Structure 1
Amino acid sequence: MKEPEQKRSEVQKRKNQNVHPKQRKYFTLFLLLIVIILGTFFFYLGRIYTDAQKMTAKIYSSSNITKVRNTQTLLKEGKPISILLMGTDTGAVGRNFKGRTDTMIVLTLNPQEKKMTIVSLPRDALVAVTGFKQYYPSKLNSAYDYGGSGTAVKTVQNYLNIPIDFYATINMGGLENLVNAVGGITIKPLLTFSYDGHSFVKNKETQMDGSAALAYVRMRHSDPLGDYGRQERQRQVLTKVALNGSKLKSLMTEKFFKEIQKQLKTDISFNDMLLLALKYRVATHNMTSDHLQGDADLISGISFEAVPETEKQRITNLIRSSLNLEESTTGDTLSNSSSIDITQK
């Protein structure tokens, strides 16, 4: 059973309404992760080099998979790279980095073209999870639940026929503490609603503490755009946390870094961060933002997002182009082949 085209048009309408020259400077979820990673690195490097290494070690967590590409060579040569960004929503109930991912974004950095590309993936996209095909049909966000970051990476790779070079996971359940750690945020809600004891009015500038921010990003069922709307609110709040009124120095506190150690995991190592800082910051000068659009479908009474092959191919083309890879057919998670085409242009 398909949802009408109205949902797709509403998503595009809200997206178009939000496109503003100043807002293009906002790096959404990527900005939060990279600012935290690089900001943490430079903050500690300015004090003691070994402290920077220790800090990085606390957030480092291997994906435990063999990577499709040689990431060290890519970084040293300053070639385009990709990062799978994931947001979990479990910390508030005492289960850090477990469960399903509420947010999944493929980010590419191309320092040669000074360009960054961000693509949001629907959490309910219909897939066969790599290594767990016996549970088909599955939702894309279950990949992390089944096998952790490595399984999520492999599933996205196979789904779109793109290489994923790194991953970063932030615990959305810890968002309340993160917002409080930076002294709260001020935003204009994207819609009017009440949730978990908090009320929000569309376009009315609102000061939020951690509790209010968490309620704002958690509501899904009352949003006419469903999960697409929630993803947009998450990106809005995470951006504000990162920028905090465009005063990044507010992030450079012991309190913030101690909190982020609990909420962030990545396989970007200390040496990787050095190379990112030296060669990839220029890639944030221009940003392209997009999303993979699916259509609601019911399978055995369970709701999925069925993404048309033409739409998958469009996103595959976009991401591969941003990585300077040759065009190739989009992926198929039901295929017996798990090879990823990494042919360079």
Structure 2
Amino acid sequence: MRHEHEPKQRKHTVRNVILTVILVLLVSVGAYAARKYYNIKHAVDNTYQSAGIKKNRNANAVIQAKSPISILIMGTDTGALGRSYKGRTDTMMLITLNPKKDKTTITSIPRDTGVTIPGYESESPSKINAAYAFGSSGTAIKTVQEMLNVPIDFYAVMNMGGMEKVVNAVGGVTITPTLSFSYDGYTFTKGQSAKMNGKKALAYSRMRYSDPDGDYGRQTRQREVIMAIMSKAGSISSLLNKDFLDSVSSQMKTDLTFSDLSAIAQNYLGARKSVSQTHLQGTGQTVNGQSMELMAKSELQRVTNLNRKNLGLDHATTGNIALSVSDASSSSDSSVQSANVNAGN
């Protein structure tokens, strides 16, 4: 099991994930020419949506003080962000940026992590990816905060289906698959480079059940596609292209304002110098008819310590809403199972 120490290429991949999913806009803000100002600000303004909750701390004060910040990044893989059915978050990553230590941490949270979702106790235990389906971004933030006892200052959610438009906007991407499989009408061959348009790249990034690493493997392929996008959109001229910016912003929502992004561009980009990636590692078990990942208390505490340390916060005990093996052994409720199925298991 790999945690903090990752190969150099992995660190570059993680960096590109940040830049593409949310910091594509950040880099644009930090590098804009005066004549491009309107396009960038318009794109950023279109992404803004309040989380609808009171944060654990004053996020704007934190960012203005140039103190370490945290961002919860979520990815959905169904429909558009304006849909009536929100869908679940198939990707969840907690990012902390420490401009004083020039360090970034990335914590991937498995979509199947078993939790009691705050405000939806009657529908719990559930997978953590249902938090967004039940109560939107605010509930997802509360769930991760209470599970890890780590404050979340900002969020960003991106429809993974929007990646199709982004790939097409940069003229397609070339990827060398790390395994062979067929999915959604496309065939991918291990070690054989392939030029992919948006639909093919999306298919490559969505397959999960035929991957020996399951959801962890799918997240790796999503990062491969995002890295390939960055390699095509690496120049400032590409990033400032109105169609490209609109493709990203129309598929994304965040409570980071243009002012926030400007402050990050000016004061936080040094945090990319050192990037550590980890993930919560659980044990698979069936609970109420659902396959969940159950987390040991020691594993939750390890991740809590990692994130709080990079945020410059004192040591604290991890949260208590994650489902343990002992909790799962006594849990069986058909109504809870039905509620989760209706939310899009």
Task: Please state if 1:191 is matched with 2:179.
Answer: yes
Per-residue Cα deviation, 1:142-169 (whole angstroms, up to 9, x for no partner):
0000010010000000000000000001
Which of 13, 18, 30 matches 2:18?
30
Contact 1:114 1:282 in 2 (8 A): yes
Cross-structure match for 1:302? 290
d(CA) in 1 for partners of 2:58, 2:158: 25
Contact 2:25 2:245 in 1 (8 A): no
C-alpha distance 54-227 of structure 1, shift in aligned 2 (>3 A): same
How far did 1:242 drift?
2.7
Give the alignment of 1:115-264 within 5 angstroms: 115-244=103-232, 246-247=234-235, 249-264=237-252
Contact 1:44 1:51 in 2 (8 A): no
Contact 2:32 2:240 in 1 (8 A): no
Per-residue Cα deviation, 1:298-340 (whole angstroms, up to 9, x for no partner):
11321111111111111111111111111111101279xxxxx
Per-residue Cα deviation, 1:53-74 (whole angstroms, up to 9, x for no partner):
3332111000011111111221
d(CA) in 2 for partners of 1:259, 1:209: 15
C-alpha distance 131-269 of structure 1, shift in aligned 2 (>3 A): same
d(CA) in 2 for partners of 1:28, 1:101: 20
Which of 45, 53, 56 matches 1:68?
56
Cross-structure match for 1:274? 262
SS at match of 2:262: helix
SS at match of 1:47: helix
Which one is further off, 105-114 or 230-239? 230-239
Which one is further off, 215-224 or 180-189? 180-189
How far did 1:40 drift?
3.9
TM-score with structure 2 setting the length: 0.87
d(CA) in 1 for partners of 2:167, 2:39: 25
d(CA) in 1 for partners of 2:102, 2:294: 33
Which of 76, 91, 98 matches 1:110?
98
How far did 1:251 drift?
3.0
How far did 1:48 drift?
5.5
d(CA) in 2 for partners of 1:43, 1:112: 22
How far did 1:241 drift?
1.5
Which one is further off, 183-192 or 159-168? 183-192
Contact 2:36 2:240 in 1 (8 A): no
d(CA) in 1 for partners of 2:235, 2:158: 21
Which one is further off, 216-225 or 257-266? 257-266
Per-residue Cα deviation, 1:191-231 (whole angstroms, up to 9, x for no partner):
11111111112232222111110110111100011111111
How far did 1:28 drift?
4.4
How far did 1:97 drift?
7.7
Gaps of 5+ in 1: 1-8, 336-345
SS at match of 1:154: helix
Q: Name the amino acid aligned to 2:210.
A: S
Per-residue Cα deviation, 1:83-126 (whole angstroms, up to 9, x for no partner):
00000111279838811001000000000000111010000100
How far did 1:23 drift?
4.2
Cross-structure match for 1:90? 78
Q: Name the amino acid aligned to 1:327.
A: H
Gaps of 5+ in 2: 324-345
d(CA) in 2 for partners of 1:248, 1:237: 20
Which one is further off, 137-146 or 228-237? 228-237
